[in-house]
Amino acid sequence: MYKIKNTFIIALTLAFTLVISCKDLDELNINPNGVDPDNADPNLLMATVITGVSKTIVSLGYGDIAGAMQHTQKDGWSGGHNDYDWDVNSKSWRGYYDILRNVEEFYNKSVDLEYSFQAGVGLVMRAYTFGLIADLWGDAPYSAALNGAAGGAENLKPVYDSQSDIYMGILDDLEDANTLFSQPQESFTTIDPTQDVLYGGDVQKWRQFANSLALRYYMRLSEKEPATAQAGISMITSSPNTYPLITDAGNDANVNYIGSSPDDSWPNNTVFDKSTSGGYLRTKMCATLVDALQALGDPRLSVWANKIEIPLVLDPALPDDSDQIIDGIRYIAQ
């Protein structure tokens, strides 16, 4: 009887498993409370795309590359920052391609729905992100990138494109963006200004941004492809009506931090980083940068950092444990 009961349970379990296995896993994993990607408004992804790229830019200027450039140094737990001691995974391009997958989804959805403004924004963000990859790594997956979901070895291990080919592809995207943005503001009826955290839906400012980026990448090509660069720069600078540029600092591509939580605040700040072992107190300006700014009388030094209230001098001539302040300077035995 015991064996018959066990056999019945096993048979019932197998039957149930077979029924479940016949169902598509995509159906089982649908969130009933989520937004169907097929019906989602691309405007809802715009802010994610823009802020993702923006935070990546800040991390370059404030993270370990700032240490490698000797702009900043850390006074503790400084391995990667001061000593270039990092591994492949911590400094890979994985995060950049994660951003690009969002950008590609945003762009493709915009094209499908014929949202020309959003499609132009997608082209600019794609160009900007691939430009960062080319600037940092040189040759990289580009033309065959972002196809991993399709499967196949060629998509899971895409070929590398040359740095120059990536720049040329970027310039093509920015040219297309300029064309999309060339229509009058009132012709764009699908803009949600609240989701455009960069320019609030101002098409002309996006157009200026696209063409200013194009100048940047023509300059990148100028040493290796001088004829191409010269032709592109002349084309843009000689036709301000066709290729408007950013000429006012107020129109720079800046996304302000809200400052209401650690995720939307400046990376190191006293509000959310009060610990004495936190980044705010550990990160200092490097003497290499300070000395250069002081030699040039550069006023940006006072913007970057506060002046030291009590300068510190390590003096090997002082007796052990000596620590005294003379004329506003603190002298400590070395």
Give the DSSP per-residue string, 272-306: T---TTSHHHHEEE-HHHHHHHHHHT-TTHHHHSP
Return the closest-CA partner of residue 177 out of 218, 212, 147, 144: 212
Encode pLDDT of 139-154 as tens digits.
999 999 998 877 777 7
What is the mean predicted confidence (pLDDT) over 106-125? 97
Q: Which pLDDT value is given to residue 59?
A: 85
Encode pLDDT of 209-248 as tens digits.
999 999 999 999 999 999 999 999 999 999 999 999 999 9
Lowest mean pLDDT among 28-37, 245-254, 319-328: 28-37
With residue 93 as reference, give the H or E element that holds it: none
In the predicted structure, residue 253 carries a pLDDT above the cut 80: yes
Q: What is the CA radius of gyration of the chain?
A: 27
Q: Which pLDDT value is given to residue 205?
A: 98
* pLDDT confidence tier of residue 69, bands split at 50, 70 and 90: confident
CA geometry: angle at 99 spanning 97 and 104, to 5°?
90
Encode pLDDT of 293-316 as tens digits.
999 999 999 888 877 788 888 888
Q: Percent of the chain scored above 90 by pLDDT?
A: 54
* pLDDT confidence tier of residue 74, bands split at 50, 70 and 90: confident
* pLDDT confidence tier of residue 279, bands split at 50, 70 and 90: confident
What φ, ψ does residue 177 adopt, rounded to 5°?
-65, -45
What is the mean predicted confidence (pLDDT) over 84-94? 77
What is the mean predicted confidence (pLDDT) over 37-57? 88
In the predicted structure, residue 38 carries a pLDDT above the cut 90: no
- The pLDDT mean for the chain works out to 87
Rounded Cα distance between 19 and 217, Å, is 56
In the predicted structure, residue 27 carries a pLDDT above the cut 70: no
What is the mean predicted confidence (pLDDT) over 183-208? 97
* pLDDT confidence tier of residue 81, bands split at 50, 70 and 90: confident
Q: Which two tokens stand for residue 143?
A: 């033309």
The listed range with the strongest mean pLDDT (137-151, 154-168, 173-187, 301-315) is 173-187
